[in-house]
Amino acid sequence: MLTSKETFPKAILLDRDGVINFDSPDYILSPEQWRPIPGSLEAIAKLTKAGISVAIISNQSAVGRGMLDDTTFQNIHSKMLLSIEALGGRIDHVSYCPHAPSDGCTCRKPLPGMVLEALLALKLSNEAQHVYMIGDSLRDMQAAWAANISGILVQSGYGDATDILAKARLHDPHIQSYPNLEAAVCSILKH
């Protein structure tokens, strides 16, 4: 649950793979491979119904690596958005980095470029204290911290959740961690 120092959010920024949908070390390369984590789409719908803006912030290096063309990526994205909308949820903004790690871009997490873009798009650039980033990796948290917003970890990605949490706690000893997006959203909405 959010502490008394934290405020009720105006926006939640979500990583995609490992938070909304199951991730794979081999990437999500087709709409058929995109499968929502149980409860994640419903959690987004709950945020929407609570009047909280939702944005997606996602590294998608499979595009930059040539493993996924833009049309297929857009088809995956459309499947996700339609699935969210079917349950009453809404995504207010999407930022994704299509670059490979070696491209030297300024948007790829752990850099804050996409987070800052989302804050600007949501008109919350001066209200970072009202925005939270939910992710499954240390780089998600690092991007949030670099943009001066709070991070919340979920353990539904394919990485070592215990190790990720331990590393995140070196920066923020009070970082919150939940099994999945559904549990994180339930805690946020209880505040």
**Contact in structure between 77 and 94 (CB atoms under 8 Å):** yes
> Cα dist. 100→27, 63, 85, 123, 171 in Å?
13, 8, 30, 29, 26
Residue 5: pLDDT band with limits 50, 70, 90: very low
Does the structure show a pLDDT above 60 at 4?
Answer: no
List pLDDT tens digits, range 130-146: 999 999 999 999 999 99
- Is pLDDT at 17 greater than 80 in this prediction? yes
CA atoms within 13 A on the CB side of 8: 8
- Give the C-alpha distances (Å, rounded to integers) separating 157 from 10, 25, 95, 128: 25, 10, 19, 25
Annotated catalytic residues are: 15, 17
Q: Which of the four pLDDT bands, split at 50, 70 and 90, describes residue 3?
A: very low
pLDDT digits 0-9 by tens, 116-128: 999 999 999 999 9
- Say if residue 78's pLDDT is above 50: yes
In this predicted structure, the answer to whether residue 150 has a pLDDT above a threshold of 60 is yes
Minimal CA–CA distance to 140: which of 37, 56, 43, 47? 56
What is the pLDDT at residue 6? 55
Tokens at 111, concatenated: 């850099």
- In angstroms, the Cα distances linking 175 to 27, 111, 124, 127 are 27, 19, 22, 20
Cα 160 to chain centroid, rounded: 17
When pLDDT is averaged across residues 145-163 and rounded to a whole number, the result is 95
pLDDT above 50 (res 82) = yes
d(CA 87, CA 8): 23
Q: What is the rounded end-to-end Cα distance, in angstroms, of the chain?
A: 6
Average pLDDT over residues 50-55: 98
pTM above 0.85, yes or no: yes
User: pLDDT value at position 8?
Assistant: 84
Mean pLDDT of the chain: 94
What one-character-per-residue DSSP string does 105-169 give?
Answer: -SSSTTSSHHHHHHHHHTT-TT-GGGEEEEESSHHHHHHHHHTT-EEEEES-SSS-HHHHHHHHH
Q: What share of the chain is helix, strand, coil (3-state, %, to 5)?
A: 40, 15, 40
For the segment 55-71, what is each residue's pLDDT rounded down to a tens digit?
Answer: 999 999 999 999 999 99
Task: Please report the domains of the chain, with CATH numbers, ordered by start residue.
Answer: 11-190 (3.40.50.1000)
